[in-house]
């Protein structure tokens, strides 16, 4: 599913999605940024055609929007599709040193690659209005 942002980071990217070109997998430190993106179809690799809120900062990486699955009692989960079209386990994290939310396939490997950042696992929950 897509997640719309309310007064999101950019009118260019009204959906919450992932921006990056990394392959996720075991023992890999690849990651993507969570940012405002335009729609992309579920189950597809990152799209270089989709617009993102990070383009204004000079980051012209591909993105994915329909990465989200909601299991009401358990939370909201992301599934990154690698540029090679393969799927890997996906974790949401916060990087306090760089102040951003992102996705990775191996939080331990990401933390080892950037030990000064102190990445933290994050979970999203659904709160009915």
Per-residue pLDDT of the chain (129 residues; tens, 9 = 90+): 888 877 655 667 788 889 888 899 999 999 998 988 888 899 999 888 777 766 666 667 888 999 999 987 789 999 999 999 999 899 999 999 989 999 999 999 999 999 999 999 999 988 877
SS3 call for 81? strand
Report the mean per-residue pLDDT for the chain: 87
Q: How many CB atoms lie within 10 A of CB 99?
A: 7
pTM of the predicted protein model: 0.88
The pLDDT tens digits of the residues spanning 4-25 come to 877 655 667 788 889 888 899 9
Q: Which of 99, 110, 124, 122 is nearest to 25 (CA)?
A: 110
What are phi and psi for residue 108, nearest 5 degrees?
Answer: -65, -45
């Amino acid at each position: 599913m897509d997640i719309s942002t309310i007064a999101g980071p950019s009118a260019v990217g009204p959906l919450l999605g992932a921006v990056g070109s990394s392959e996720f997998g075991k023992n890999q430190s690849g990651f993507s940024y969570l940012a405002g993106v335009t729609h992309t179809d579920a189950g597809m690799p990152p799209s270089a055609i989709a617009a993102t809120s990070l383009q204004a900062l000079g980051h012209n990486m591909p993105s994915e929007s329909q990465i989200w699955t909601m299991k009401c009692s358990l939370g909201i989960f992301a599934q990154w599709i690698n540029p090679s079209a393969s799927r890997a386990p996906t974790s949401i994290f916060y990087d306090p040193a760089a102040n951003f939310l992102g996705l990775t396939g191996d939080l331990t490997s990401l933390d080892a690659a950037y030990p000064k950042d102190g990445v933290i696992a994050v979970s999203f929950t659904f709160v009915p209005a």
